[in-house]
């Protein structure tokens, strides 16, 4: 951890009492700042507030007092809180700089930084890169951090110059960076997402591109080369461009040609040897290969990870087989692109569990991907819209249920031996669950209960 003095005596407002907010507040105190943390909600566990107060942190919950904007010199904002929030707007009006927790982490980071963003695949890619960089390592270690669930500020305090921090960054987090400069940045892809937060797709794209805003010719931007838009975005970066592609040979990057994956003409691994299913995971593997090779990793280390890594939780995660039905948890599929990728990963008859938060979309674009769908079970705010797409696709069995828990036993009844039962909602979870992780965990528990019941029968 770098010993920096820029926060000594500075009055800092941390907005949001989540995991990243608590870590940011504690780090700021360690750096000598006078910290206030504010949240609209009061945590159910009173020890959270007591522990913060014991460290000299002022805690205000239950409201967003606008005067806090006038009383502080900097705001560290929870990325999920929109810029339309009254306190955030008051901070902007008062001229407060507003950053997010990864920016704070970067200021103290001694380790090398690899940063990953994208609409889909960023968690899997972040995990693959971390595992690859940790394989056969003789000094230091690779840490995964950021939007993957481990606050970057927590990791940055313990990472040394011998280490590397691989950080997943969301568009929300990227809006709050000023100096953050990854040596290697990765953009997995950019689709339609979070327009309710950003206001437009153009703003969303600009937020994603901030991952490379501070890079120079000494750095690298690994970017998906399979869409013209993404190729043009690379022109806005000052970094060395390393493309990856499933569709064409890119001699300066990573690509699939025939049965094999290559990096700059060097054969790395047979595509069929990659353990996690789906064409989208070929893309994730290519991005990870590029990052690992740029960091000097051996083909042996890279292949060992790709042959053994079984996937990230909630991302086409194999749960278990119940009476010859394979259950998969893809709760992270919070948009249509992710659902399309999940459906494309299987050729077996599939019972699809889908639905969730209504963001004003209809689901006709999913119709071409329903060719293997035997039955659909729809829930949440978009249940009827999802069912309409299934009906248009000719899915013969479409049922409605309350939530993912009640969908599991129904899916079992509608399936046959050899089928896949796939939770891939194509929607955010917030109409029924606080996070996609909670939704996925409820699904897993329901499958486990189903397996127990079937064993007893």
What is the C-alpha to C-alpha distance for residues 14 and 189, in angstroms, rounded to an integer? 31
Confidence at residue 312, expressed as pLDDT on a 0 to 100 scale: 84
Give residue 220's Cα distance to chain centre: 21
> Where in the chain are all domains bearing CATH 3.40.1190.10?
102-308
Asked whether residue 174 carries a pLDDT value surpassing 80, the answer given is yes
Burial of 218 per CB tally in 10 Å (0-12, 13-18, 19+):
exposed
Query: Which pair of structure tokens corresponds to residue 181?
Result: 């400069």
Query: What is the SS3 assignment for 256?
Result: strand
Mean pLDDT of 149-166: 96
Summarize pLDDT for 19-74 with one digit per residue, the tens: 999 999 999 999 999 999 999 999 989 999 999 999 999 999 999 999 999 999 99
Flag whether 118 is marked binding: yes
Alpha helix positions (H), 135-278: 152-156, 171-174, 195-198, 201-209, 228-233
pLDDT at 457 over 80: no
How far is the CA of 443 from the CAs of 332, 353, 424, in angstroms? 12, 10, 11
Q: What is the pLDDT of residues 70-96, one digit of tens each?
A: 999 999 999 989 999 999 999 999 999
- Decide if pLDDT at 192 tops 80: no
The architecture (CATH level 2) of 317-456 comes to Alpha-Beta Complex (3.90)
d(CA 317, CA 290) in angstroms, rounded, equals: 24
What mean pLDDT is reported for the chain?
A: 96
Catalytic residues, by residue number, are 122, 147, 194
- Angle (nearest 5°) at CA 274 between 271 and 277: 95
Write down the pLDDT at residue 402. 97
Please check whether residue 215 is in contact with residue 182, taking contact to mean a CB–CB distance below 8 angstroms: yes
Q: What is the DSSP letter of 457?
A: -
pTM for this model (two decimals): 0.81
Q: Is 124 annotated as a binding residue?
A: yes
Q: Please check whether residue 274 is in contact with residue 260, taking contact to mean a CB–CB distance below 8 angstroms.
A: no
Distance from CA of residue 250 to its chain's centroid? Answer: 26
Percent of the residues in the chain that have a pLDDT greater than 70, as a whole number = 100
H-run or E-run covering 373:
strand 373-378
**Residue 119 marked as a ligand binder:** yes
- The CATH architecture one would assign to domain 11-99 is 3-Layer(aba) Sandwich (3.40)
CATH architecture of 102-308: 3-Layer(aba) Sandwich (3.40)
Q: List every span in the chain annotated with CATH 3.40.50.720.
A: 11-99
Cα 35 from Cα 295, distance rounded (Å): 38
Phi, psi of 28 (to 5 degrees): -60, -40
DSSP secondary structure letter of residue 140: S
């Amino acid at each position: 951890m770098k010993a920096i003095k820029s926060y000594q005596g500075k009055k800092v407002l941390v907005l949001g009492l989540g995991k990243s907010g608590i870590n940011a507040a504690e780090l700021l105190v360690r750096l000598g700042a006078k910290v206030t943390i504010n949240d609209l909600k009061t945590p159910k566990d009173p020890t959270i507030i007591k522990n913060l107060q014991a460290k000299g942190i002022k805690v205000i919950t239950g409201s967003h007092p606008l005067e806090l904007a006038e009383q502080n010199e900097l705001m560290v904002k929870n990325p999920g809180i929109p810029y339309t929030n009254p306190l955030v707007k008051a901070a902007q009006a008062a001229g407060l700089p507003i950053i997010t927790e990864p920016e704070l982490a970067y200021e103290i980071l001694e380790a090398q930084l690899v940063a990953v963003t994208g609409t889909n695949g960023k968690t899997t890619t972040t995990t693959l890169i971390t595992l690859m960089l940790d394989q056969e390592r003789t000094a230091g270690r690779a840490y995964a951090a950021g939007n993957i669930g481990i606050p970057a500020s927590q990791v940055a305090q313990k990472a040394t110059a011998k280490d590397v921090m691989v950080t997943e960054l969301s568009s929300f987090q990227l809006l709050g960076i000023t100096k953050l400069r990854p040596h290697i940045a990765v953009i997995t892809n950019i689709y339609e997402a979070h327009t309710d937060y950003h206001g437009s797709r153009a703003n969303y794209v600009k937020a994603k591109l901030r991952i490379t805003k501070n890079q120079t010719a000494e750095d690298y931007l690994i970017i998906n080369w399979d869409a013209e838009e993404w190729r043009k975005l690379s022109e806005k970066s000052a970094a060395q461009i390393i493309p990856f592609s499933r569709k064409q040979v890119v001699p300066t990057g990573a690509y699939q040609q025939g049965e094999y994956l290559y990096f700059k003409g060097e054969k790395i691994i047979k595509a069929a040897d990659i353990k996690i299913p789906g064409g989208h995971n070929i893309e994730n593997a290519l991005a990870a290969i590029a990052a690992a090779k740029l960091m000097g990793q051996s083909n042996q280390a890279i292949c060992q990870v790709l042959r053994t890594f079984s996937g990230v939780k909630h991302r086409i995660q194999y749960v278990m087989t119940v009476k010859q039905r394979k259950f998969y948890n893809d709760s992270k599929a919070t948009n249509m692109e992710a659902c399309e990728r999940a459906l494309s990963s299987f050729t077996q008859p599939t019972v699809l569990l889908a639905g969730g938060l209504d963001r004003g979309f209809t689901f006709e674009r999913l119709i071409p991907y329903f060719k293997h769908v035997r039955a659909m079970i729809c829930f949440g705010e978009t249940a009827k819209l999802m069912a309409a797409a299934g009906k248009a696709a000719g899915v013969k069995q479409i049922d409605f249920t309350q939530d993912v828990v009640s969908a599991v036993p129904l899916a079992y009844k509608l399936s046959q031996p050899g089928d896949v039962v796939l939770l891939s909602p194509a929607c955010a979870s917030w109409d029924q669950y606080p996070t996609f992780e909670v939704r996925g965990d409820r699904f897993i528990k329901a499958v486990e209960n189903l397996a127990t019941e079937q064993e007893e029968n």
